């Protein structure tokens, strides 16, 4: 996501209502979020669908990394040798037609 430009990317709700098509075209062209204000305070942030998806994916990855770190800290992690044994057994089971 690109950096917000305060002078260009913060608009009052009335301006957004009046110029929505133009502002959405600009949003897609410059790939920066658009902050909509109401009574002088931030009320909403508009993103492209691609930026929204990327944001969700980043959160998913961060959650998985955090879970992995917590698992390793809690002693739930497998050693490299145990992991190799585990996956070798899975490959062998799949090759013989009985997946685990």
Q: Which two tokens stand for residue 52?
A: 């929204």
**pLDDT 10s digits, 38-59:** 999 999 999 999 999 999 999 9
Long-range pairs of 50-56 with CB within 8 A, sequence gap ≥ 24: 51/1, 54/1, 55/1
Average per-residue pLDDT for the chain: 89
Helix (H, G, I), strand (E, B) or coil at 10: strand
SS3 18: helix
pTM value is 0.61
The matching CATH number, chosen from 2.50.20, 3.40.1620, 2.60.40, 2.170.240, for 6-47 is 3.40.1620
Locate the domains of the chain by residue range.
6-47, 51-95
Backbone angles phi, psi at 40, to 5 degrees: 80, 5
Looking at the chain, the whole-number percentage of residues with pLDDT higher than 90 is 65
pLDDT at residue 68 is higher than 70 = yes
């Amino acid at each position: 996501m690109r950096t917000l430009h305060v002078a260009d990317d913060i608009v009052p709700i009335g301006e957004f209502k009046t110029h929505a098509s133009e502002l959405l075209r600009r949003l897609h062209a410059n790939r920066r979020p658009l902050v909509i204000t109401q009574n002088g305070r931030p009320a909403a942030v508009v993103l492209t669908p691609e930026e929204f998806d990327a944001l969700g994916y980043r959160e998913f990855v961060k959650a998985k990394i955090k879970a992995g770190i917590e698992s390793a800290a809690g002693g739930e992690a497998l050693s490299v040798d145990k992991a190799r044994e585990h996956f070798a057994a899975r490959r062998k089971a799949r090759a013989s037609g009985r997946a685990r």
